[in-house]
A and B are shown apart, each in its own frame.
Chain A
Amino acid sequence: MSKFRMHILVCGGTGCMSSSSGEIFDVFEKELSANSLSNEVQVIKTGCFGFCEQGPIVKIYPDNVFYVQVKPADVSRIISEHVIKGRTVPDILYKNPESKETVAEHREIPFYHSQLRIALRNCGLINPEEIDDYISVSGYEALGKCLTEISREDVISAVKASGLRGRGGAGVSTGFKWEMAYKSQGDKKYVICNADEGDPGAFMDRSILEGDPHSVLEAMAICGYAIGADEGVIYIRAEYPLAVERLRIAIRQAEEYGLLGDDILGSGFSFHISLSLGAGAFVCGEETALMNSVQGMRGEPRMKPPFPAQAGLWHKPSNVNNVETWANIPPIILKGADWFKSIGTEKSPGTKVFALAGQINNVGLVEVPMGIKLRDIIYKVGGGVRGGKRFKAVQTGGPSGGCIPAELLDLAIDYDSLQSVGSMMGSGGMIVMDETDCMVNIAKYYLEFTVEESCGKCTPCRIGNRRLLEILEKITSGQGTEDDLTELKDLSAAIQDSSLCALGQTAPNPVVSTMKYFWDEYIAHVRDKKCTAGKCTSMLTYKVTDKCIGCTICAKNCPVNAISGSLKSLHSIDPAKCVKCGVCFNKCPKQAIERV
């Protein structure tokens, strides 16, 4: 056969790799060769498919069959049944949780229904370690088009007209940033890719770099051409070894083809890209701190202005964009600003990648048009709340964002609507909380994160946030007063107003938004000393009620032997020994244990 008749795609994203997709790939290669099929069937390691909940994922073309939760032991069946006999293997197909029917094609899976992939267009389609795969789907043509047909000014106008806004957090117009850098005078300019993805639970940037690294390189070169820079730096955290490795391969391949380097495509334009590895400090996602870190200094932010476009890396005009923003650039150049503007909302065109996490059925990475309702993301794409529990809130925007309650589920999501309800887009993390999550405790969790990650340069952030955390600790341990709530509000406002960088300015957001929407819970904690969700253990007591039948299950399961009682008689819990772990509460077959 002159070409491969079948392609077997094995997910090579970090999620699937950590559940043995690497081994699955190897077994495929071995067994295909044992069956003399290596000339007919090709195995390819791709980037993330997004449906991490169901990983490891194997997809087979041209049949377009999507296998989920594949184990290395399933490989021989896929080969003997699917590859050789043309029959699907039903037990590893996705099963629709509602209809219980198996689904073979991925577009039939509800998780993919509302999705529209622009930034993730090549993730799970091409081999990220093979530049020809990227070129075959029109890769580097946007760069070629810019260098040969479009003037620098028109490139900037196109990006500006598309309305693309920064996907890393604040949502500043990308075209505006490029224009500022273009207008800045300087003999040397820099293009920087911010791949310091730090929000807990967000991993879209990692997935793009792992699944489609060339799209970022191409976009950076386009920007270099537009603003007049000949050097690019990708600032990426060392905790992303696979993304770093694939970027290195991609840069090498692009240089070999002359798509990076000197005199690209004979145009006279030269552009070089290097990597700078960060140590994983959250604050280095802030652009001025990032540039300090690249220069080998402490990762501390500085006052703006001057903006990076005026004095950035090594005091030269620089343009910093986030990975997902970059990934949107080549399609905008090729398909035009009008195409991009036709997607999403008026002020937030395009799509956004969200990382779904927390108490949600379909944990994973989804790309949806802006303006989609929160409810559709959580229930249609996300498959609803795990375990059939009641939805309580969704935290968006990471530690800088806020919690959005159930009343606002019909909110159409874009940069401005999220801000109007006291949260933010951030990098697109979405953590779903159910009725068993305590909102005061959640606010405390995020504060713990920002206190840990504060660089310490300015006082409001270094000390103010620590005081906020201490008040929250006091409240969750049952020692809080109503005065503490006033203090929380005042201190939050002061920190927001006076911190140096966005980390500090936004750190109180989780506190402010939970106080706004879940005031009752705060009051219950300080006035009644009750945690209704049952998370703040020091406020709880467990008691055995007279429903007890004396089965001894609780006593046997108690890890600290705090429960006494003999067979068929009422048991009791010794409060002095009880560690409030809740095991007895969950184990009791008669719901005879009360939590108050």
Chain B
Amino acid sequence: MSKIKSLDELKKIREQSKGGTDIRVTGENPDRVVLAVGMATCGIAAGARVTMSTLLDEIDKAGLDNVSVVATGCLGFCYAEPLVEVRTPGREPIRYANVDAARAKEIIDKHVKQGILLDNAIIGKEVPRQ
């Protein structure tokens, strides 16, 4: 560890080490958007790991502090894996099919950041959760 010589350097270290705790800080935010990736056998076989790591990387790059990525079980549409469900508080969840790295990037860029749905990839609106 080298010495920190100024407040700016301290702030730089804060930004660098944020990656270590931000999923905890975001997890405490009740208004966060949750991206649930289907990580059952079918999802993983279809490449859900790539989907998940792309989502995490893109969130990191964009510096979004209100988005969590969680793994979820089989969503039932095994033919359309990898699946990503976007859960925004107060809105109906949206499910996207065949989310490869490119589509994962698009979900972050369009849906999460701008609120524009990817109409060509939605597989069905779910009934609101209880």
Contacts and interface: CB of A to CB of B under 8 A. Distances in A.
B24 A63 contact: no
Interface string B1-22: 1011111011101100111111
B18 to A, nearest CB: 5
B14 A141 contact: yes
A86 B10 contact: no
Given A140-B10, A258-B3, A86 B36 contact: yes
B26 A62 contact: yes
B27 interface: yes
A138 B39 CA distance: 34
Nearest to B43: A86
B14 A5 contact: no
A257 interface: yes
B98 interface: no
Interface in A204-251: none
A144 interface: yes
Interface of B is mostly: helix
A3 B58 CA distance: 12
B3 A257 contact: yes
A140 B14 CA distance: 10
A61 B27 contact: yes
Contacts of A148: 6-7
Nearest to A259: B4
Interface stretch (B49-57, B105-113, B119-127): B49-57
A135 B1 contact: no
Contacts of B28: 64, 125
- Report the interface size class on chain B: 35 or more
Nearest to B19: A3
Interface string B24-67: 11111010001010011000000001001100110010000000
Nearest to A83: B71
A5 B40 contact: no
A101 to B, nearest CB: 12
Centre residue among A1, A9, A107 by max chain B CB count within 10 A: A1
Contacts of A6: 23, 71
Given A84-B71, A253-B1, 20 more contacts: A1-B49, A2-B60, A5-B69, A61-B24, A62-B26, A63-B68, A86-B36, A86-B72, A126-B24, A133-B20, A135-B10, A135-B13, A136-B18, A140-B10, A141-B7, A141-B10, A144-B11, A256-B1, A258-B5, A266-B6
Interface of B: 1, 3-7, 9-11, 13-14, 17-28, 30, 34, 36, 39-40, 49, 52-53, 56-57, 60, 68-73
10 contacts: A1-B52, A5-B69, A87-B73, A125-B24, A132-B17, A132-B20, A133-B17, A136-B22, A144-B7, A145-B7
